[in-house]
Structures are given as C-alpha cells and as structure tokens.
Amino acid sequence: MAARWIDPELAGYQFLWASIRTGPVEVYLVDAAGGDVTNLTRQRTADSHYAAWSPDGGQVTFTSDRDGTHNLYRMDADGRNVRQLTHETAPVVAGMQSLPADGQWIYFGLFGKSEGPLMCRIRPNGGEFRVIGIGVDPAVSPDGNEIVYARQLADGHCLFAARVDGTGERQLTETPNAFFGMHPTWTPDGDAILYADRVGEALELFRIKPDGSARRQLTEMKQAATSPAVSPDGKWISFRVCDEVYWKDAAASQRAYAERRSDKRPVWVMTPEGGQAHVVETMRYHTTIDGSRAPMRMKR
C-alpha cells in the first residue's frame, strides 16, 4: 500500500511499525524512503505489539494476544511461518524482546507473575526457557554477555546492568524515575546504552556507558520521548514521542486508550548525537499508543 509521504534521508532502511490503521494493533514493514507499508501479522481479531528483528533481519519476534493473552511469537520477515514460543495464560503477558548479535537467545519480560516483573530468555525455537531475574524490559548486549534493565525502587525505576545469568548486578542511574518507561537498548557496537529518563515533567532520551559513566541527554522534546532503537549501522536512532506521560496516571491512561488518537505517539528519528531529529511522516498517524519500538534493518 503506497504511503503519502517519503523520507529520502532514510533510504536504505526498513522499519517494524505497530499500527492501528486496520483497527487492531498490527505489525507492519515500512519503507520510509519509498513509501511502501506491508501488514505482516494480518490478524483482524487480535493485537500484535513489540516487534524486534533477528540480527540478520530475516526473522521478527513479537507479542500477540491471539490465544487470549500476549505471548511471544516468531515469524519470517515477510510474515510467514508464524510460531508461538511461550504459552502463558492471563493475566501474564510478554513484553519487549532483545537478541544478541549471534541470535542464539531471545530476552524478554513477563508481567503479571506474583514474583513481580520477570526477565526471561528462550531459544528462537521455543526451547530452554529460563527466568534470569526481576526487572523490566531486559536488553542484551550485542556480545551476549550482559543485560541492562529497569528495576523498581521505592520512588521509581532506576537503570541496572548484570551478567546474562542475573549475577553481578550494578546500578547505573541514581535518581528514581517515577514515570517509568525507561526502555533501555544497546548501540550495535556495545559501547553505549540508550534509555528514557525523567526530566521535570517530561521523559527524555539519554546515552550512557555500560559502566554508568558519560551520561548525556540526547533529546529536549519536553514531552515523552521513549522506546529507542538503533539502526544496524549505528547511524540513526528511532524513538517514539507522546504529548503527555499518560501512563503515570490511571485516569489519563484510560482516557488515552479510549480516545485512540491516531497521532498520539508517532515515530521519530535522530542521529546518535541527537541531531536532525524529525518525525517520520509515514509513521506519524495510526501509530499504536503503546511503547512498541520502531526497529530498523537495512533494506533488502
């Protein structure tokens, strides 16, 4: 389906995009430079979120509630050969995924368990499931040795890192973020971590070294900038921008989901240093308002 707008700066890249354009949330493949938008999940009676590329760009992992709660699935990059990897039941739901460069594991979160938010990993074929600790949105380093994640403290979330077996935990940020939504991710070279943190009444994106040093603010949106993802060549960061942190308040969250405003949380891009920030017009409207990333791969 041809889109109205194109972005020549993004020639050579394709995105995974969670959109409400057909009613339910579906995962789309988007060529922002050429304007092509392809529905990959094609499930008119279920929602699909939180898509992620395999390192080679040939597979997509995502969550879907097609069996009654949000479980983890895997499919080919053209939407074929869908396979269910987890088999949780409500109220447990699976969250964001992350894969190391060798693609041997999928790291993801499980919410709704009595123990709290769990960090888990599983093989791409659905085998060797393991809980590795308590935390939110675990992101594995490209070399597969470390994870970074958010953890609840008394006054909000802080950023932590640990070995992939959950040992050797260290705290990377000191000021609790009461707005949550930190959504950490690694740069492809493993040299830095990107995440969202509270600045006044807003969420902005930051860059930090894996040892917690060299913290730098990248955005000054004065809104809610979240869900960063870095292109495989490290040249672009995609992220989401919302005009309010609606999830900090139950009434505001209920209103936002009831309104389902099509331009509530569009996809933006910027350079690794925070420059050239602009909305991607192809993904400005009909974007889901959840925190799904818009990860990129090199165009095929």
Please list the pLDDT of the chain residue by residue as tens digits (300 residues): 344 467 888 999 999 999 999 999 999 999 988 889 999 999 989 999 999 999 999 999 999 999 999 999 999 999 999 999 999 999 999 999 999 999 999 999 999 999 999 999 999 999 999 999 999 999 999 999 999 999 999 999 999 999 999 999 999 999 999 999 999 999 999 999 999 999 999 999 999 999 999 999 999 999 999 999 999 999 999 999 999 999 998 999 999 999 999 999 999 999 999 999 999 999 999 999 999 999 999 988
For the chain, what percent of residues have pLDDT higher than 70? 98
User: What one-character-per-residue DSSP string does 238-274 give?
Assistant: EEEEESS-GGGSHHHHHHHHHH--TTSS-EEEE-TTS
- Asked if residues 75 and 60 have their Cβ atoms less than 8 Å apart, the reply is yes
What domains does the chain contain, in order, with CATH numbers? 8-298 (2.120.10.30)
Q: How far is CA 44 from the centre of its chain?
A: 22
Task: Give residue-wise pLDDT tens across range 133-155.
Answer: 999 999 999 999 999 999 999 99
* List of residues 6+ apart from 242 with CB closer than 8 A: 223, 224, 226, 264, 265, 289
Angle at 234 between CA 228 and CA 239, to 5 degrees: 20
Beta bridge partners of 185: 194
What is d(CA 4, CA 214) in angstroms, rounded to the nearest whole number?
A: 40
